[in-house]
Structure 1
Amino acid sequence: MTPAEMESRIVRYGDLRPCKTAFIDAHTPGSNQKENFTIIGGGVSESPDQHVHIVDTPGFNIGAAGQPPGCRNSLHSHRTAEVFFVLKGRWRFFWGRWGTAGEFIAEEGDIFNIPTGIFRAFENVGTDYGMIMAILGGDDAGGGVIWAPQVITDAKDYGLVLGKNGKLYDGKKGQTPPEGVPPMPLLTDEELKAFPEPTTADVIPHCVARYWDLMALSDRQPAKVIGANGKLRDRPGFEVDFLSRNSIPDTPYTLAKHEVLMPMRGHWRLTWSGGTTSLNPGDTAAIPPGLEHSLAPSMSGEASLYRVVATDDPAGLTGRLL
């Protein structure tokens, strides 16, 4: 693989292209400043304006959300895995039908394997622009977003309509759903009963890993975060490892599955037979199966990285609170 071919598989943080109209709450006050990024795969964006950096998926999708202080992402659910780690800032995650069942504050580097089948939301509670990176299960990311009814109702007051086809129509731009496409129906009271209301005590021990705990666990070998023998529950179609300076293999390695490297702290040197390049916090590198390569911190100081590897596990079995 040539350096140019490898570079085409790396999405640099500085090259990320945001979409500010990705979802139905894009005009709703409190959510109207958020930015959505689709890095690998189309994700779950509802807007044709969303730019996709790498179209081909390795069995999962990679995305990100950027928000200024006080901005929130509205209550929604997914049919498959949704895993976040905080790249920048301080974030409050909260969940439940009305967002009151439970919550916790995530700091930089923390990772959250959100239980499937619950309504969840998040907001930037820090003092600066924040960024969270997302891993979504499945090649098609589970077929879109399931919104809490009040989110769809509120959006109509600000000119946005979500069609039953999963596409967003902006009344401010004169857009309406085409003939034969009705608006997305609201979930009924009976359907809403199927969405659990786990408490904070239910969720945190099984679904949250703190950055500094992972740094300690990775002192001699990669820390298993999600997957077989992982710190967090379930196997959602991908596994996640946390690597720090002392847990990097000394020799080049090859994987039979797709691998995605996502630096958290420090600068990393990626080397393969065709060349070498640097990976920096916020970059995303898609390594193809069978490519021999090695990783090493390229500077002194704190260094950490999340590694996501495809598995043959079903993509919808994450975070169930049994």
Structure 2
Amino acid sequence: MTRITQTEAEARRVKRSDYTSCTVAFIDCKKPGSHLKQNYSIIGPGVTSSSEQVINLPEAHGFNIGAAAMPTGITNNLHIHFTAEVFMVYDGEYTFRWGSNGEHEMVGRPGDILSVPTWIFRGFTNTGAGEGWIFTTLGGDNTGGVIFHPDILREAADYGLYLSRNNVLIDTTRGDPTPGEGETLPPMSDAEVAKLRHYSPEEMRERLVSTAERDFRPAFVDRALDGCGAEIAPVIGHGISQNRDHAAKIRNPHGFSMEWLRVAPGQTVSPFTLDDKMVVIPRTDGLRARLNPEGDVTLDLGGWETFSIPAEITRAFENTSDSPVEALIIVSGDHQKRPRFAPQVLAAAAEKDLALDAQGYVAAAHLIPSYGLVAE
């Protein structure tokens, strides 16, 4: 049985005070109107081009988690990603742009999640009142970097900035040698830009899960037990929900699943294990994680913190506050996740006529033949 110590668990918890911004992460860092961007690499390096970027948890997860913040009116300029890029708006208002020249727009507000397709230009501007905050999830351990819009690359040279073929930022104003011919990434040609896939506003709207669209339903086999009944709203892919009626709006492979977990005051998610790494990002204070079968390791997670739980570790959650707590649950892999609840939980659920069928979904126990029951 895999266990974790209090010290090991604390090392996998990244508090808000631990987040460290980098203002020179990308080649547009000196462009007026973009110079006040703050980039954060929380799990994995993301797509930063800066050697100065602090990475809180460099361990490979199969995905990267970062964040961005910037004052009102500041823009993150058009660029292309090779793996999935998902924006999770936690604070403020951001206007997202996409298209060869950023010709399409969509506004994101707190609780909204937008998945932008690969190989199209995208960028965003803080159009809210404060600095705002966006978490990002990128597919894969190696994201491959980014391709900036040709106009951005050409303008950056005016400020002494270049991007090497290894995605490393070259800043001649701080003493880096001016790169020679063939040592930098060349701008895409107009013909290459014209070949990029076009996504209409209607198509992109299908890749936005707004706060109002979230489909919260009881998620687990413990739903009828006293103090249980936590809910999940799927966002991307096959997550940990055991509710057969759940279906994520965004279904193409990302390399990870994403769901909202909602726990009512005093409510608990019973102990379970998972074969995959799982990351929890609460929106507010009040979510307590209990680890190991005995629950002897506890963490009271604060809002906007990032907590990574290794595979095979027993975990349970409870809401210690007076208000519902919501948290993003991100799990590696595109496959259906199979939470394994403790035997005593399954036995108690069976007394309420609930069990898991062969597909891992909750069903009436009396309808399932004994050979069809799943002991997980």
Query: 1:104: which partner in 2?
Result: 106
Q: Deviations over 1:123-182 (max 9, x none)?
A: 1111111110000000112x1011110111111122211112211111221213566861
Query: 2:150: which partner in 1?
Result: 149
Query: 1:283: which partner in 2?
Result: 305
Query: 2:228: which partner in 1?
Result: none
Query: 1:187: which partner in 2?
Result: 188
Question: For 2:132 and 2:317, how far apart are their aligned partners in 1?
Answer: 27
Query: 1:316: which partner in 2?
Result: none
Alignment of 1:124-135 (within 5 A): 124-135=126-137
TM-score by length of 2: 0.78
Q: Deviations over 1:7-48 (max 9, x none)?
A: 100111121111000000000001000010000111110010
Question: For 2:45 and 2:182, how far apart are their aligned partners in 1?
Answer: 22
Which amino acid in the other structure matches residue 108 of structure 1? P
Question: For 2:49 and 2:56, how far apart are their aligned partners in 1?
Answer: 16
Contact 1:207–1:233 (Cα < 8 Å) also in 2: no
User: Which sections of structure 1, spanning at least 5 residues, go unmatched?
Assistant: 314-322
Query: 1:31: which partner in 2?
Result: 34
SS at match of 1:4: helix
Offset at residue 266 of structure 1 (A) = 3.7
Query: 2:172: which partner in 1?
Result: 171
Equivalent in 289, 299, 311 of residue 333 of structure 2 = 311
Offset at residue 265 of structure 1 (A) = 3.0
Q: Which has the larger radius of gyration?
A: 2
Which amino acid in the other structure matches residue 207 of structure 1? R
Question: For 1:208 and 1:94, how far apart are their aligned partners in 2?
Answer: 13
Which amino acid in the other structure matches residue 82 of structure 1? E
Offset at residue 258 of structure 1 (A) = 0.6
Query: 1:251: which partner in 2?
Result: 270
Of stretches 173-182 and 24-33 in structure 1, the one that deviates more from structure 2 is 173-182
Are 1:300 and 2:310 an aligned pair?
Answer: no
SS at match of 1:135: strand
SS at match of 2:90: strand
Query: 2:140: which partner in 1?
Result: 138
| Residues paired across the two proteins, number | 308
Are 1:231 and 2:241 an aligned pair?
Answer: no
Contact 1:82–1:114 (Cα < 8 Å) also in 2: yes
Q: RMSD in angstroms over aligned alpha carbons?
A: 1.7
Question: For 2:249 and 2:46, how far apart are their aligned partners in 1?
Answer: 26
Query: 1:10: which partner in 2?
Result: 13
Contact 1:99–1:121 (Cα < 8 Å) also in 2: yes
Question: For 1:6 and 1:163, how far apart are their aligned partners in 2?
Answer: 38
Offset at residue 200 of structure 1 (A) = 1.2
Q: Deviations over 1:75-131 (max 9, x none)?
A: 00101100110111111101111101x211111111011111110001111111111
SS at match of 2:102: coil
Offset at residue 189 of structure 1 (A) = 2.4
Question: For 1:218 and 1:145, how far apart are their aligned partners in 2?
Answer: 35
Which amino acid in the other structure matches residue 209 of structure 1? V
Are 1:120 and 2:110 an aligned pair?
Answer: no
Which amino acid in the other structure matches residue 167 of structure 2? G
SS at match of 1:201: helix
SS at match of 2:165: coil
Query: 2:202: which partner in 1?
Result: 201
SS at match of 1:253: strand
SS at match of 1:155: helix
Question: For 1:250 and 1:62, how far apart are their aligned partners in 2?
Answer: 24
Question: For 2:263 and 2:212, how far apart are their aligned partners in 1?
Answer: 13
Equivalent in 49, 54, 59 of residue 52 of structure 2 = 49
Question: For 2:178 and 2:54, how far apart are their aligned partners in 1?
Answer: 22
TM-score by length of 1: 0.91
SS at match of 2:9: helix
Of stretches 118-127 and 257-266 in structure 1, the one that deviates more from structure 2 is 257-266
SS at match of 1:251: strand
Question: For 1:312 and 1:249, how far apart are their aligned partners in 2?
Answer: 27
Question: For 1:10 and 1:137, how far apart are their aligned partners in 2?
Answer: 21
Equivalent in 261, 275, 279 of residue 260 of structure 1 = 279
Question: For 1:311 and 1:138, how far apart are their aligned partners in 2?
Answer: 9
SS at match of 2:45: coil
Question: For 1:177 and 1:252, how far apart are their aligned partners in 2?
Answer: 57
Offset at residue 239 of structure 1 (A) = 0.4
Question: For 2:10 and 2:251, how far apart are their aligned partners in 1?
Answer: 34
Contact 1:252–1:293 (Cα < 8 Å) also in 2: yes
Question: For 1:55 and 1:251, how far apart are their aligned partners in 2?
Answer: 30
SS at match of 2:8: helix
Q: Deviations over 1:211-239 (max 9, x none)?
A: 2332xx22433111101331223121100
Question: For 2:310 and 2:178, how far apart are their aligned partners in 1?
Answer: 40
Contact 2:258–2:330 (Cα < 8 Å) also in 1: yes
